[in-house]
Amino acid sequence: MLRQSQAKNNGWGKPMQWARLEHDGRTRFGIIAADVLRVHDGDMFAGARPSGETIPLADCRWLTPMLPSKMICLWNNFHQAALKHGLAIPAEPLTFIKSANSFNAHRQKIEQPLSYPGRVVFEGELGVVIGRRCKAVDVAQAADCIFGYTCVNDVTAIELIGRDASFAQWSRAKNFDGFGVFGPVIATQIDPLQGNLRTLLNGRERQNYPLSDMIFPPAELVSRISQDMTLLPGDLIACGTSLGVLPMQPGMTIEVIVDGIGTLSNDYGSLAS
């Protein structure tokens, strides 16, 4: 899953991929090695230790790699997209929150909302996973608060946002059940800004953009957001998307691929499909 040729170590140590999986009705976590999970005990973010047990991935169901207390998402955080859409470069990060009911894992279905018949779009994004409690940290301190990175699909009921001219409905449009998709793993000891993000819709490439095009890169995002709210271990910052966002149709498969991390894959459709 990890593309070693794309992962830039920069002397940080060996890249690892952390995952949470369900096996025989139990939630397990650990490090992915080839086709198995090397199970760990303790806390993923504080002194996790190998148990010595391995579990074949084929026998497991993927879960979100952590359970955030909050998922903070970015709007207008890429230069190319801002230029294309005639948007000003923001002076500070423009954020909104996705709630826990929206969290969704690799290979789990993204359901069509029953109460909304309009267009639903994918947004392939890089996710930053917080590894330690941080509040009002500077950029150098913020870098030390990043545990690793994951893939995100910030699913959006796009027609809802501007439907009422008096109030932009960001919360409703972004927070249907299953609309906050992330995983399959947290990759540590990598520099994601050295790579690209691609999104495939039924195998056809729809997004391909360099992560280095971010207006506010990960450590700066962590620093700035921590001035407003305390970030806790496991919290997720979705860095925003760039060009190529399109609607999904029932029966389609959406894959978000980030160099050095892997592929987040989900089908879109109704429960009956």
pLDDT value, residue 73:
98
pTM of the model: 0.94
- Spatial neighbors of 114 by CB under 8 A, at least 6 apart, are none
Q: 230 near 139, Cβ under 8 Å?
A: no
Q: What is the rounded distance in angstroms from the CA atom of residue 37 to the CA atom of residue 21?
A: 8
Render the burial of 250-265: b for 16+ CB within 10 Å, e for the rest: eebebbbbbbbbbbbb
Which CA distances in Å does 130 have to 120, 122, 186, 245, 253? 28, 24, 11, 26, 29
Q: What is the full per-residue pLDDT of the chain (273 aa) written as tens digits? A: 333 333 333 444 678 999 999 999 999 999 999 999 999 999 999 989 999 999 999 999 999 999 999 999 999 999 999 999 999 999 999 999 999 999 999 999 999 999 999 999 999 999 999 999 999 999 999 999 999 999 999 999 999 999 999 999 999 999 999 999 999 999 999 999 999 999 999 999 999 999 999 999 999 999 999 999 999 999 999 999 999 999 999 999 999 999 999 999 999 997 554
Render the burial of 78-100: b for 16+ CB within 10 Å, e for the rest: bbebbeeeeeeeeeebebbebee
Taking domain 64-269, whether its CATH number is 3.90.850.10 is answered by yes
pLDDT value, residue 272:
54
Taking domain 12-63, whether its CATH number is 3.90.1150.10 is answered by no
- Spatial neighbors of 127 by CB under 8 A, at least 6 apart, are 149, 150, 151, 152, 182, 236, 237, 238, 239
In which residue are the tokens 């391909």 written? 208
pLDDT value, residue 270:
76
For the chain, the structural domain boundaries read 12-63, 64-269
Q: 197 near 256, Cβ under 8 Å?
A: yes
